[in-house]
A and B are shown apart, each in its own frame.
Chain A
Amino acid sequence: MTTMPAQPTTNGAAAPAAPRPGEPLLEVTNLVKHFPVRGGVFNRVVGRVHAVNGVSLTVSRGEILGVVGESGCGKSTLGKLVIRLIEPTSGSIKFAGREITGLGHAEMMPFRRKMQIVFQDPYSSLNPRMTVRAMLREAMLFHGVVEKSAVDDRIDQIIQTVGLRPDAAAKFPHEFSGGQRQRLGIARALALKPEFIVADEPVSALDVSIQAQVLNLMMGLKEEFGLTLLFISHDLKVVEHFCDRVMVMYLGFVVEEIACDRLHNDDNSIGALHPYSQALLGANPIDDPDDRRPLTVLQGDVPSPYDLPRGCPFAGRCPKVMDRCRQEMPPLVERPSPAGGPPHRVACWVV
C-alpha cells in the first residue's frame, strides 16, 4: 500500500462533541485519495498523485464550512469524495452518524438524495437538451421526493425560491445568463430537499454583482431551510464573508482550520496563524486605493502532488521555515480559541 503517512490529527476518531450548536452532520476522518498514474509498456501503475492526504473534518447541521486553497490543493477532490462521487483510497465518511464508505449502489441511494453538489461551471453541468422542468422533474420522480401530481407545483415553487421568473421552467439552459444558470444549478440541488450541499466554486465564474446575488441567495436558503454547506472556493475574501469556519488546504493537507470571524482581528490585522493562510490573506489585493501595501509575495510554485516533500508541504515556500519543517510533517494541533467557539487548529512547527 502507500508509504505516505496520513496527516496526524489530534482530535483522533471523530467524537461528536456535545456542546456545539447543531449536531455533526458530516464527519470525515483521515480521508485519503491517491490517483494512480499509469505508464510504460504494460500500463502499470508507476506512481501516485496524492490529491487528498488524510483530511478530517466535521460539519455541523446548519453550518457553512469553507474550504480554500490554490488550484491543485485537493479541495474539489475533497468535495467529490465526501459525497462519494469518487471513491476514497482510505478513510471514513459518516453522514448523520452512518458510515457511508463501502455502501452499495442501492444502500447509497437515500444518501444521494440528501447530499447534493453545485458545480463551478453551471453550463457544462446542465443537460443542454432538457428544459428546466424536464430536468427537475426527472430527478424528483426518480428519488420520489414528491407525488407525481404535485411535481409541477413543486417545480414552480423551487424556481421562485432561487429567484428565477416562472417562465424559466419551459426554457433550455442556453437561454439563461451565467448567473441564472448558477441559480438553476442550485435549483436542481434543492429539488431533492437535500440536507447537505457541496458547493464547488459556485461563484468563481460569475461577475461581482452576480456573485453577490448568488451568495445572498445561498445565505437565504441556509436560513430558510437550515441547509448545511461545504463551500469550496479559491477566494478567501468570499469565504471569509460567507462561511462560518474555514479549512485552508495546501497540497492535499489541511494546514489550518479556523472560524471565519477570526481570520482578521478587530484592528483588521491578520488573525490566521499558519504562514500559508497569512500569505493567502496578504496576497489578496485590498479594495482601498489609500491602503496600498506590498502584497505578500510567496516565492516559487506549489510542489508536485506526485512526489510529496518529506516534511511540511509548505516548507519550500514558507518565509518562516526552520530545519525541522523540512524533516517532519507538523500535526494539526488545537490552539486556544474563545470559549464555546469552534476549534482553531494549525499544522505548523513555528507558530
Chain B
Amino acid sequence: MMNLLWLQSGGCGGCSMSLLCADTTDFQGHLRDGGVNLLWHPSLSMASGEEVIALLQSVLDGSTRLDALCIEGSLLRGPNGTGRFHMLAGTGLPMIHWVRELAAKAKHVLAVGSCAAWGGITAGGDNPTDACGLQFEDDRIGGLLGADFRSTSGLPVINIAGCPTHPSWVTDTLMALAADTFKADDLDPLNRPRFYADQLVHHGCTRNEYYEFKASAEKPSDLGCMMEHMGCKGTQVHADCNIRLWNGEGSCTRGGYACIACTEPGFQEPGHPFHQTPKVAGIPIGLPTDMPKAWFVALASLSKSATPRRVKHNAVADHLVVKPAVRKTRLK
C-alpha cells in the first residue's frame, strides 16, 4: 500500500471537495482497492490535534514511511519570508516549514490544484501573502522547494493543476503511482500528467459546430461559441474537461461560461476581464494552439460567410430556435 499524507495550505479546500465527487459508488474503498493508504486527510480522517502532530513527527523521524505527499493550496511565504500567514494550528510553526521538511521525506510530492502547482488564485492581485507553488511561481520554475528539488523517487513535483482539479486527475495519478506505472515521461513540460494535459479543453466541446462557423455567443446563456466575445480559451488550454466530464455531464463550456485556463500557470491574472475576449483589430489575440494566424483569419472569414441560418440563429439563443432539418437523403 502507498502511504498518502494530504495537507492543505493557502487554498480553498475545493480540490478535496472535488475529489470526493470521484465517479465511484464507494470512495473510501476505491482508494484502498487502488493501493492507497490514507495516513491523514484534513476532511476524511479521525485524528485531530496532538494525534496529527504525532503522525507528522513520526514521518520526520522515519518511523512512518511517506510514499506520497499531496499539498493542496498555495504556499504562503509572507509576511517578509516568515510564513506566518499560515501557521499550522497547534504547532507554532509556519506551514511552509512543515511542507519543506515533509517533502524531503516523501517518495513522491504532488501539487494538487493550481494553487499548489503555480500559486494560483491566492497569488492574484499584488499577491498580498507572497504565495507560490511547490516548484513553480506562475510559469517560472522555483517556488517553495526550488528548481532542483526531486522527491526520493527522482521525480519533480507532479503538478495536478486545475481550479479545482477533476477528481479522476487525482485518483488516476495516485493509482498509477501506487502501481509504480507512472514515470518521468508521463509528465508534460510543466510537469502535469500527460494523460489529461495532452488534450485541449476544445476537444469534445459541444459548441464545436458554432466554433467551425464562428457563430458566436454574445451574452451569457447563448449557445454559440464563446471564443470570439466571451473570453473562452478552450482552444489553447491543456486539459481534457470536455472528454472527461465533470459531476456527471458537465464542463465549463457545457455550463454556459468560458474556459478561463485554470490549469495554466498565471491564469489568475489574464490582464483582461475574464468574460471578455481581448482583440486587436477585431481579431482575438489568443488563437487556437498550433494554428497560424493567417490561416485562422482566412478560415474564420470564410466560415463566417458560410454559416448556415440554423447555426447563426441558435448561437445567440439559450435554446434551439431553428432545429436541424429532417431530409429524406438517407444520409448519403
Instruction: Indicate whether A and B interact.
Output: no
